[in-house]
Structure 1
Amino acid sequence: MSERNNYIDNMKLELDTLNDQLGSLEARVMHVRQEARQQYEGELARLRTQSREALAKWESLQGSTEATWHQAVPDMDRLRNAFFHAFHLLKARM
Protein backbone atom coordinates (compact mmCIF):
# COMPACT_ATOMS: atom_id res chain seq x y z
CA MET A 1 0.00 0.00 0.00
CA SER A 2 1.37 3.40 -0.93
CA GLU A 3 2.05 6.11 1.64
CA ARG A 4 -0.82 8.14 0.16
CA ASN A 5 -3.34 5.30 0.41
CA ASN A 6 -2.22 4.49 3.93
CA TYR A 7 -2.63 8.16 4.96
CA ILE A 8 -6.07 8.39 3.34
CA ASP A 9 -7.27 5.16 4.99
CA ASN A 10 -5.99 6.20 8.42
CA MET A 11 -7.53 9.66 8.12
CA LYS A 12 -10.92 8.18 7.18
CA LEU A 13 -10.75 5.82 10.16
CA GLU A 14 -9.99 8.74 12.52
CA LEU A 15 -12.82 10.86 11.11
CA ASP A 16 -15.30 7.99 11.25
CA THR A 17 -14.35 7.24 14.86
CA LEU A 18 -14.79 10.88 15.90
CA ASN A 19 -18.13 11.08 14.11
CA ASP A 20 -19.34 7.93 15.88
CA GLN A 21 -18.32 9.40 19.22
CA LEU A 22 -20.00 12.68 18.28
CA GLY A 23 -23.26 10.77 17.92
CA SER A 24 -22.86 9.50 21.48
CA LEU A 25 -22.29 13.04 22.74
CA GLU A 26 -25.45 14.20 21.00
CA ALA A 27 -27.42 11.53 22.84
CA ARG A 28 -25.97 12.69 26.18
CA VAL A 29 -26.96 16.30 25.45
CA MET A 30 -30.60 15.28 25.47
CA HIS A 31 -30.36 14.57 29.20
CA VAL A 32 -28.98 17.91 30.43
CA ARG A 33 -30.85 21.00 31.58
CA GLN A 34 -32.44 23.20 28.92
CA GLU A 35 -29.96 26.11 29.22
CA ALA A 36 -26.95 23.82 29.10
CA ARG A 37 -28.54 21.86 26.26
CA GLN A 38 -28.77 25.01 24.13
CA GLN A 39 -25.09 25.73 24.69
CA TYR A 40 -24.09 22.15 23.92
CA GLU A 41 -26.30 22.07 20.84
CA GLY A 42 -24.48 25.16 19.52
CA GLU A 43 -21.15 23.50 20.13
CA LEU A 44 -22.37 20.28 18.52
CA ALA A 45 -23.45 22.27 15.46
CA ARG A 46 -19.94 23.74 15.19
CA LEU A 47 -18.48 20.24 15.53
CA ARG A 48 -20.75 18.97 12.75
CA THR A 49 -19.53 21.83 10.54
CA GLN A 50 -15.93 20.93 11.29
CA SER A 51 -16.73 17.30 10.56
CA ARG A 52 -18.25 18.18 7.17
CA GLU A 53 -15.21 20.34 6.30
CA ALA A 54 -12.81 17.57 7.28
CA LEU A 55 -14.75 14.97 5.28
CA ALA A 56 -14.87 17.28 2.24
CA LYS A 57 -11.10 17.75 2.44
CA TRP A 58 -10.68 13.99 2.86
CA GLU A 59 -12.75 13.43 -0.30
CA SER A 60 -10.55 15.84 -2.25
CA LEU A 61 -7.48 14.11 -0.83
CA GLN A 62 -8.87 10.76 -1.88
CA GLY A 63 -9.25 12.08 -5.42
CA SER A 64 -5.69 13.41 -5.54
CA THR A 65 -2.90 11.76 -7.43
CA GLU A 66 0.25 10.18 -6.05
CA ALA A 67 2.14 13.26 -7.19
CA THR A 68 -0.17 15.89 -5.65
CA TRP A 69 -1.55 14.41 -2.44
CA HIS A 70 1.25 15.86 -0.30
CA GLN A 71 -0.06 19.36 -1.05
CA ALA A 72 -3.37 18.58 0.67
CA VAL A 73 -1.88 16.98 3.79
CA PRO A 74 -1.28 20.21 5.80
CA ASP A 75 -4.91 21.34 5.32
CA MET A 76 -6.21 17.85 6.11
CA ASP A 77 -4.11 17.68 9.27
CA ARG A 78 -5.23 21.17 10.32
CA LEU A 79 -8.92 20.34 9.85
CA ARG A 80 -8.61 17.00 11.59
CA ASN A 81 -6.69 18.53 14.52
CA ALA A 82 -9.26 21.34 14.93
CA PHE A 83 -12.12 18.83 14.88
CA PHE A 84 -10.29 16.49 17.27
CA HIS A 85 -9.42 19.29 19.70
CA ALA A 86 -12.92 20.82 19.73
CA PHE A 87 -14.49 17.38 20.12
CA HIS A 88 -12.36 16.48 23.12
CA LEU A 89 -12.90 19.87 24.78
CA LEU A 90 -16.66 19.38 24.57
CA LYS A 91 -16.42 15.76 25.69
CA ALA A 92 -14.36 16.79 28.76
CA ARG A 93 -17.01 19.35 29.72
CA MET A 94 -19.82 16.83 29.63
Structure 2
Amino acid sequence: MATDADLYAAQTQLEDAYLQALQRAHALSIVRLYEETFHQLDDLPLGEQVARLNHARDIIREAAAGRTDAPELHMLSGPPGSRIGALR
Protein backbone atom coordinates (compact mmCIF):
# COMPACT_ATOMS: atom_id res chain seq x y z
CA MET A 1 0.00 0.00 0.00
CA ALA A 2 1.37 3.43 -0.98
CA THR A 3 2.04 6.05 1.65
CA ASP A 4 2.16 9.83 1.55
CA ALA A 5 5.95 9.50 1.44
CA ASP A 6 5.66 7.32 -1.69
CA LEU A 7 3.43 9.92 -3.33
CA TYR A 8 5.82 12.73 -2.43
CA ALA A 9 8.79 10.75 -3.76
CA ALA A 10 7.00 10.00 -7.04
CA GLN A 11 6.03 13.66 -7.48
CA THR A 12 9.56 14.82 -6.71
CA GLN A 13 11.09 12.33 -9.14
CA LEU A 14 8.68 13.42 -11.89
CA GLU A 15 9.51 17.07 -11.30
CA ASP A 16 13.26 16.34 -11.33
CA ALA A 17 12.97 14.43 -14.62
CA TYR A 18 10.85 17.22 -16.12
CA LEU A 19 13.35 19.92 -15.13
CA GLN A 20 16.29 17.90 -16.43
CA ALA A 21 14.55 17.42 -19.78
CA LEU A 22 13.80 21.14 -20.03
CA GLN A 23 17.40 22.02 -19.23
CA ARG A 24 18.66 19.65 -21.88
CA ALA A 25 16.18 20.97 -24.45
CA HIS A 26 17.27 24.52 -23.63
CA ALA A 27 20.92 23.58 -24.05
CA LEU A 28 20.19 21.84 -27.34
CA SER A 29 18.38 24.94 -28.61
CA ILE A 30 21.40 27.07 -27.74
CA VAL A 31 23.69 24.67 -29.60
CA ARG A 32 21.39 24.76 -32.64
CA LEU A 33 21.25 28.55 -32.59
CA TYR A 34 25.04 28.76 -32.34
CA GLU A 35 25.66 26.29 -35.16
CA GLU A 36 22.95 27.63 -37.44
CA THR A 37 24.25 31.17 -37.02
CA PHE A 38 27.65 30.18 -38.39
CA HIS A 39 26.04 28.09 -41.13
CA GLN A 40 24.05 31.11 -42.34
CA LEU A 41 27.09 33.41 -42.68
CA ASP A 42 28.37 32.16 -46.03
CA ASP A 43 28.29 34.73 -48.84
CA LEU A 44 26.98 37.55 -46.65
CA PRO A 45 28.64 40.96 -46.48
CA LEU A 46 30.87 41.36 -43.43
CA GLY A 47 28.50 43.85 -41.82
CA GLU A 48 25.60 41.39 -42.03
CA GLN A 49 27.79 38.61 -40.66
CA VAL A 50 28.71 40.76 -37.66
CA ALA A 51 25.06 41.73 -37.13
CA ARG A 52 23.91 38.09 -37.16
CA LEU A 53 26.68 37.00 -34.82
CA ASN A 54 25.85 39.83 -32.42
CA HIS A 55 22.14 39.03 -32.53
CA ALA A 56 22.74 35.35 -31.79
CA ARG A 57 25.07 36.39 -28.96
CA ASP A 58 22.34 38.59 -27.50
CA ILE A 59 19.78 35.76 -27.66
CA ILE A 60 22.18 33.37 -25.93
CA ARG A 61 22.96 35.94 -23.24
CA GLU A 62 19.24 36.49 -22.68
CA ALA A 63 18.79 32.73 -22.31
CA ALA A 64 21.72 32.50 -19.89
CA ALA A 65 20.18 35.27 -17.80
CA GLY A 66 16.81 33.50 -17.79
CA ARG A 67 15.07 36.21 -19.82
CA THR A 68 14.40 33.99 -22.85
CA ASP A 69 12.24 30.94 -22.30
CA ALA A 70 12.92 27.56 -23.88
CA PRO A 71 10.02 27.66 -26.40
CA GLU A 72 11.13 31.07 -27.70
CA LEU A 73 14.74 29.94 -27.97
CA HIS A 74 13.68 26.71 -29.66
CA MET A 75 11.64 28.67 -32.21
CA LEU A 76 14.62 30.91 -32.96
CA SER A 77 17.00 27.98 -33.25
CA GLY A 78 14.85 25.64 -35.29
CA PRO A 79 15.96 23.43 -38.17
CA PRO A 80 18.23 24.66 -40.97
CA GLY A 81 16.61 27.39 -43.01
CA SER A 82 14.42 28.47 -40.11
CA ARG A 83 13.98 31.95 -38.66
CA ILE A 84 17.64 32.13 -37.71
CA GLY A 85 18.27 33.05 -41.33
CA ALA A 86 16.28 36.22 -40.75
CA LEU A 87 18.37 37.35 -37.78
CA ARG A 88 19.51 40.95 -38.11
TM-score by length of 2: 0.48
Look at both structures and tell me which one has the larger radius of gyration over its CA atoms: 2
